[in-house]
Amino acid sequence: MLKVILSVLLLAFFSSVIGYQQLQATIQTPLKVATNTQFKVEKGTGFNKLCRQWQQQQWLEDCWRFQILAKLDPTLTDLKAGLYELSADSVINNIKKINQGEQISFSFTIIEGQALRDVLNTVKIAPHLQNDLKLEQLGEQIIGKQTHLEGWLFPDTYHYHSNDNASSLLKRAAQKMQQTLADAWQQRASDLPYDTAYEALIMASIIEKETALASERPLIASAFINRLNTNMRLQTDPTVIYGLGEGFDGDIKRKDLRNYTPYNTYRINGLPPTPIAMPSKEAILAAVNPPKSEYVYFVAKGDGSHQFSTTLKQHNAAVNQYILNKKN
């Protein structure tokens, strides 16, 4: 009788050892995929279906061992739909990635000074982003009011997952711009030549387009504000170009400066009706808190910077130096 008991105990011991080894082997079994393999988990996919899909792809040999593990750890069966990047790590670690919803993250960048039409073109080609935008009601859809969306999207990089809606992404950009503008407006100078935060946004977009140098934005703002304060027209080329729209061929001409559009600041007084681009935070801050200066004029030097002048005589000399001599 003692021999029988010992035999049973010995058999149970070896069975448990073998079972533990099998368990460890299953846990450590690698998923046979190439590096960075993308796999989409459809909504409603269960554990058994996922396992069969991987078996059909020959990424694993059988399912029964993993089904046993799922019985021991039911959290493994909680699968979240989405697009995932699988790796040659263990099968279990890949499943846990799906349990935790660690989807592939895509990035969408709105560039400082980018126009709305360019943002919308980027939406069209953004991978795995659902374009649900209603172009006829874009302002209403994104910021909840009937207005032109130009200027209202904060330049930054936004991350999204497969099948996220473009409207959701742009709403995040709009909320960030609204908050940035509201904060800046609360700290504005007391003697600005415009009365609303929206007018400051318009000015910021013009500042953004006038210079590629962040260090020049304050002086550009100062010069524009000095023009407005003396009832001088802004006379800035980027507004002319914006007014021409897709008709602009890349070379601004004298006839373009004479052509009337609501945005041609050579022809209209004050600010154009809307922003002309997506301004940076720095451009917004320059628009609401410009430094004091006597500058009214500036001309591009050709190296990305500008020569600033206080009088028309100085400005004409600068134009002669940096523009006319260059053409000659």
**What confidence tens digit (pLDDT) does each residue in 175-205 have?**
999 999 999 999 999 889 999 999 999 999 9
5 — pLDDT class (breaks 50, 70, 90): very low
Tell me, what's the pLDDT at 248?
A: 84
Q: Whole-angstrom Cα distance, residue 65 to residue 70?
A: 9
- pLDDT-above-90 percentage for the chain: 70
Q: Residues 6 or more apart from 45 whose CB is under 8 A from it?
A: 79, 81
* 325 confidence band (pLDDT: 50, 70, 90): low
CA angle 288, 292, 298 (to 5 degrees): 90
- Average pLDDT of 292-313? 89
Q: Which pLDDT score, from 0 to 100, does residue 264 have?
A: 96
Distances (CA, A) of 245 to 49, 152, 160, 264: 52, 18, 30, 12
Q: Give one DSSP letter per residue of 7-64, joined into a string.
A: HHHHHHHHHHHHHHHHHHHHHHPBP---TTEEEEE-TT--HHHHHHHHHHTTSSS-SH
Rounded mean pLDDT, 220-226: 96
Cite the DSSP H helix spans in 187-307: 197-210, 217-229, 237-244, 254-258, 281-288
